[in-house]
Amino acid sequence: MTNISITACSFYLRTTNSKTNKGIYNLNDPFTLNSTCEVYPDISIIFKNFFQKYKLIQINEENKQSYSCEFEEKDKIEDENFIAYCARIFSGEYGNTADIIDLETKTKQYIKRANDIEIRPFYIYVVFPKDSKTLKVQKGMLIFQNIGSYGIKTITTTQMQDFFSNEYNISIECNCIAPKLFIDRLLKKDKIKKISLIKNYKSNDIADNLSRGYGREIRVLTDLCLTESKWEKLFRSIKYASQGKYNLFDFEKHVYDDAKIVVTIGEHDRTIGVHNIDKLSIIELIPNELKGKDGHPEKLKLNNYIKDVINDYLNEMVLTIGERGILWTMDY
């Protein structure tokens, strides 16, 4: 059975072309709709309007993709910490032929034509953490369901960016929920396949360093057999280096300017730069017992599971961006 996973990332909204953090929206403050001047309780209205915009199937001829949304106001999860709206995205690709084979008889049933679209259903959750007594929330979550290697994160965030910008002069920015959370949940000792340690060198001759530097050394480690003590030291180095792009990576009493780690996540290997973890999304498998007979998640079971996942993420998320870019956590 095909693996089902979820991709989680944080998001915030800012005025398009705004270069300061003063252009960032508080997610739970009243929002005025440009087209009607109607005031809504919060900015979730622009996501609901997005789902309504794509209620009918849209075809992207350049990318050979289809896209549509199904959303009802009642489809939401709420507790004392957040409100999450659940929608269903239908997306598929076309442009080439394929033979459809019966699994049991191993015989060809029919040929998928180049203009046939194989549409798959995916769930998406838009999460709005609630304000605390002292802080206004500016960062929310987007959680996308994946089917094997198929997903909707890229196409959805691209469509949202276009819609928000054109309709409201708003840009959506997506990042990792929290580098620490990414490391804690996904970087496991038995999942690391390779580490590339990078040391940059500069020449004593200033003229050699006017462009991109003089050279670098790359040390590649494979077939890793890490003891618990070595894994703890490696894990600490990863955490430290991920906290700032100028933080050096310490390994076996040597320091390196950068490190790239190949790690198995779900069915695929991903190369992760320790200084770019904040640009990644968290991808993790969901339990098989959430699936129905059709191989897709059952909505009520998935909702209950996602509720716990959201609260786990909220424990680590930074939810507010200060005027100078200083980040603060919530104090529920």
> Which tens digit of pLDDT belongs to each residue from 63-78?
889 999 999 999 999 9
The C-alpha atoms of residue 145 and residue 284 are separated, in whole angstroms, by: 10
Ranges 84-98, 134-148, 309-323: which has the least confidence: 309-323
Domain locations along the chain = 4-176+281-328, 184-273
Q: How confident is the model at residue 326 (pLDDT cuts 50, 70, 90)?
A: very low
Q: What is the structure's pLDDT at 157? A: 95
3-state class of 192 per DSSP? strand
Q: How far apart are CA 70 and CA 98, in angstroms?
A: 28
Buried b (16+ CB within 10 A) or exposed e, 134-146: eeebbbbbbbbbb
Separation of alpha carbons 116 and 97, rounded Å:
8
Model pLDDT, residue 267: 60
Measured distance CA(122)–CA(154) in Å, rounded = 13
Q: How many CB atoms lie within 10 A of CB 279?
A: 13
DSSP 8-state secondary structure symbol assigned to residue 150: B
Give me the pLDDT at residue 75, please: 92
Cα–Cα distance measured from residue 305 to residue 310, given in angstroms and rounded to the nearest whole number: 9
Question: Over the Cα atoms of the chain, what is R_g?
Answer: 23
Question: What confidence tier does 205 reach under pLDDT thresholds 50, 70, 90?
Answer: low
How confident is the model over 232-247, as pLDDT tens digits?
Answer: 888 888 878 777 777 7
**Would you state the pLDDT for residue 72?**
93
Instruction: Write out pLDDT tens, residues 240-286.
Output: 877 777 778 888 778 888 888 887 765 667 777 777 776 666 778 88
What are the tokens at 152?
């909707």
pLDDT tens sequence across 134-152: 889 999 999 999 998 889 9
